[in-house]
Amino acid sequence: MKKIVYIGLGSNLGDKEENIRFALNMIAETPGVNISGVAPLYKTAPVGMEQQDWFLNTVVEVSTDLAPLELLHKLQEIENRMGRVRKVHWGPRIIDLDLLLYGDEAIDIPGLTVPHPMMGERAFVLVPLAHLNPDLVLPGWGGVAELAVEMSERQQISLHLIK
């Protein structure tokens, strides 16, 4: 049975737009995954480790029949193929792909927690997610549209115009 899944994308190294575009193409080419919506790109201040370049972020909605761990591994393969290096927690990255929501399932296993545990505190997730599905309610957090407004007042985020 197909699930509606939301994946966060972010980049702050190299040609950020091209990195996001390339990752979206690779997601679209993944067997068992169909993209049903892509939010606009947003320019966002780094969170956690602030001494780095700003990010471009978006969220993609897909339908998939892949199991959660199988999808996570496919996303990690994309990151690895693009040259993602994990040296510094919250550090700079060519691409970051986060499995945010997998249907209405709650998953807490080694290596995967869904809903993503910090998504309700991140404007770079909430604002594009609200663009795709403003009526969505995040378990334990509340309505995505209201959360997006609240967090965008606390964190720096702006719509990014495509080159």
Tell me which of 84, 104, 122, 154 is the catalytic residue. 84
The answer to whether 96 is a known catalytic residue is yes
In this structure, the number of other CB atoms found within 10 A of the CB of residue 147 comes to 24
Which of 65, 81, 86, 98 is an active site residue? Answer: 98
In this structure, are residues 87 and 156 in contact, taking their beta carbons and an 8 Å threshold? no
Asked about 98 being catalytic, the answer comes back as yes
CA distance 75 to 19: 14
Given the residues 15, 86, 93, 135, the one annotated as active site: 93
Calpha distance 34→26 (Å, rounded): 11
Does residue 65 carry a catalytic annotation?
A: no
Q: Is 84 a catalytic residue?
A: yes
CB proximity list for 118: less than 8 A, separation 6 or greater:
none
Q: Could you tell me where the DSSP H helices lie in the chain?
A: 16-28, 68-81, 123-132, 144-154
Of 81, 96, 108, 154, which one is the catalytic site residue?
Answer: 96
Active site residues: 84, 93, 96, 98
